[in-house]
Chains A and B, each alone.
Chain A
Amino acid sequence: MAEGHASPNYWLIWLYLFILTATEIAVIFTPIVRLLVVIALVSLALAKVTLVAAYFMHLRFEVRTLSLIALTPLFLGAVLIFILIPDHSAVPHKTADSVKVAPAAGHR
């Protein structure tokens, strides 16, 4: 059970999360290829999620069953993305469905 383990250094985890968040902000202002920005941001987000789940939610110290339950939505989310890919491929053009709204007076 989770209470049987020695407590991890939570402040160190906090520091890692802080550094990863700061890195995310830095990445969006870095002049690199868009694809690399996407890969970097998704990787950083997954690293943060892993830290929160493993240490704050104690998954690292729990039985594997709980980790499998936690991974299920990630797996199904990946399946959903693959299901949507054919729809994207079937649409030959992007739609400009914008509805322009005038900014309120005194703003922007």
Chain B
Amino acid sequence: MSQVATMHPGTEPAESPLTPESSGKLGMWIFLAGDAMGFGTLLCGYGAVRYGSADWPNPYQHLGINLTAFMTFLLICSSVTMVKGLEGVKNGKRGTAQIYLLLTVIGGVGFLGLQAFEWTKLINEGLKVFGNPWGASLFGSTFFIITGFHGMHVTGGVIYLSVMLALVSKSTTALGTGWTYNVVEISGLYWHFVDLVWIMVFTFIYLL
């Protein structure tokens, strides 16, 4: 039984997320819940302005579904490489963990590169923050704000995971289920959240 659980008999023994070894994970989950509310509010706002508009363009006719479907596939793949990297840390296999974490970072960089390409293409076709050739002006505003907000999260995730890769590479202690596993798992939560949000963005902004 943990020290915290011992001090507070009402707390679930050992399984409580309030134990010192899992406080970082609890903190990340609380952060992600707050962040999810930010994305949720943006998507609800998107729904409201779209519903109130008489000439909202049909998204999948203008936003290039093939490319974004591939971007979705890339993020899903990077989520798998993330959990495989964490598995490598858990099993003490430094090389495996390094390769999978590197693949995850590459997946994130690839996503950002494709997003930059997509934005450039759409801007050249006339999609601007304050207007577009196809219909309601807010179509461009909501598109750039929501995908841009997500892109900033991906950028943060790439930096975060690069730090984790360096940590796993330079750690002088053996890997396993200790501190290193804990911090890599917490970084993984952030990365999977970025994937999870993209699933919603892809559905609401591109497909619906």
Contact segment of B37-45, B150-158, B163-171:
B37-45
> Interface majority SS on B: helix, strand, loop or mixed?
helix
B80 contacts A101, CB within 8 Å? no
Q: Quick one: which of A1, A42, A63, A101 contacts B133, CB cutoff 8 A?
A: A101
Most chain B C-beta atoms within 10 Å of own C-beta, residue among A27, A28, A74: A28
Nearest chain-A residue to B30 (Cβ)? A69
Q: Is B47 an interface residue (CB 8 A)?
A: yes
Q: Give chain A nearest CB distance to B69 CB in angstroms.
A: 6
Using known A-B contacts A1-B22, A7-B87, determine if residue A107 contacts B125 with beta carbons closer than 8 Å.
yes
Nearest chain-A residue to B137 (Cβ)? A99
Q: Is B124 an interface residue (CB 8 A)?
A: yes
B residues in contact with A41, CB < 8 Å: 203, 207-208
B67-96 near A? 1/0 per residue, CB < 8 Å = 001001100110110111001001000000
What is the total number of residues of chain B having a CB less than 8 Å from a CB of chain A? 68
Using known A-B contacts A57-B193, A69-B29, A108-B125, determine if residue A52 contacts B41 with beta carbons closer than 8 Å.
no
Q: Is B112 an interface residue (CB 8 A)?
A: no
Q: Which of A31-74 contact B (CB under 8 A)?
A: 37-38, 41-42, 44-45, 48-49, 52-53, 56-58, 62-63, 65-66, 69-70, 72-74
A52 contacts B126, CB within 8 Å? no
A residues in contact with B37, CB < 8 Å: 73, 76-77
15 pairs across A/B with beta carbons < 8 Å? A7-B83, A10-B87, A13-B80, A21-B73, A24-B207, A38-B208, A41-B207, A44-B203, A56-B80, A65-B16, A65-B17, A66-B25, A96-B136, A98-B136, A100-B133
Please report A residues at the B interface, Cβ cutoff 8 Å. Answer: 1-3, 7, 10-11, 13-14, 17-18, 21, 24-25, 27-28, 37-38, 41-42, 44-45, 48-49, 52-53, 56-58, 62-63, 65-66, 69-70, 72-74, 76-77, 80-81, 84, 87-88, 91, 93-104, 107-108
Please report B residues at the A interface, Cβ cutoff 8 Å. Answer: 12, 15-17, 21-22, 25-26, 29-30, 32-34, 36-37, 40-41, 43-44, 47-48, 51-55, 60, 65, 69, 72-73, 76-77, 79-80, 82-84, 87, 90, 124-126, 128, 130-133, 135-138, 177, 181, 185, 188-189, 192-193, 195-196, 199-200, 202-204, 207-208
